[in-house]
Amino acid sequence: MPADPNWTPGTACTGKIKGYPCGGGYRGTPQPHPEWTGYLTIPNTHDVGVVTFRSPIPKDATKGKYGQVAPLGYLDNLATRRGTQSVEFTVVGYGLQLVKPVLEGERTRYLGTVSLVSLSSALTDGYNIQYSNSPGQGVGPGGTCFGDSGGPVLHRTDTGQEVIVGVNSFVLNANCKGSAFAYRTDISDSLDFLARFGVTPWVVPAP
C-alpha cells in the first residue's frame, strides 16, 4: 500500500506520520492451523495460517497480483529436476533488519533472495524448507529474521508465475545467520487446511 508522504525508510514514526507504515493498513482475523501450538514442535510445526478480512482488499493495495499456492509435491519435483543448489527463492517479511548492536526493524516489507539447502534433514523431514540465510546487515544476498514469520517464500517459474512454496517459520540462532526454515505449503497438511478457506493450489500448465 502507498506510504505516507512524510515517511522515508529509516525515519522514526512520529505524530506527524499518520499513514503507512506508522499507521493505517488493513485489519483481519488470523486463523491458525488447528494443530499449531505456538511452540517449536520440530519437524511438524503446523506453522501455517490465513487472515480473513471483512471486506476485500482494494486492488490498488495489491496491484491485483497474488502468488499461487504450490500444488502437492511441487518442491520435491523441483529439487529432483534441478538439484538443491540451483533452486532460489524470494523471501518476504516485515521483521528485523538488524540484531546487532541493537534490534532494528521497520514496519516495511523487505525482500531477499535465498537458496534451497535441504528438504530432508532432521529439521525438515518433509515438512520444512531449509534455505540459506545471509542478511549481511542489510547488504547480503538475503535472509529472514525475527518478525518475518508468516511471510511467504516464493518460487518464480520459468514462465514468471510466482508460486508460494512455504511460510517463513524459524531461525536457529540469535544472529539470524546460517540457515532459516519455512513450513511447506505443498504438503497435504497445509493444502487440506487451506482448502477449508477456499484456497486451492496452482494448476501447473500442461507442457
Half-sphere exposure of 58 (CA within 13 A, CB side): 6
Share of the chain above pLDDT 70, in %: 77
Q: How much is the pLDDT for 102?
A: 46
∠ CA 120-121-122, nearest 5°, is 125
N-to-C CA span, the chain = 36
Q: What is the 3-state secondary structure (H, E, C) of 7-66?
A: CCCCCCCCCCCCCCCCCCCCCCEEEECCCCCCCCCCCCCCCCEEEECCCCCCHHHHCCCC
Profile the chain (207 residues) by mean pLDDT over runs of 10 residues. 75 77 82 92 94 85 80 91 74 61 55 84 92 63 64 89 91 70 95 96 85
Regarding pTM above 0.85, the answer is no
Q: How much is the pLDDT for 186?
A: 97
C-alpha–C-alpha distance, residues 92 and 132, integer Å: 14
- Tell me which CATH code domain 67-195 carries: 2.40.10.10
Q: How much is the pLDDT for 18?
A: 79
Q: How much is the pLDDT for 103?
A: 46
Domain map (residue ranges) of the chain: 67-195
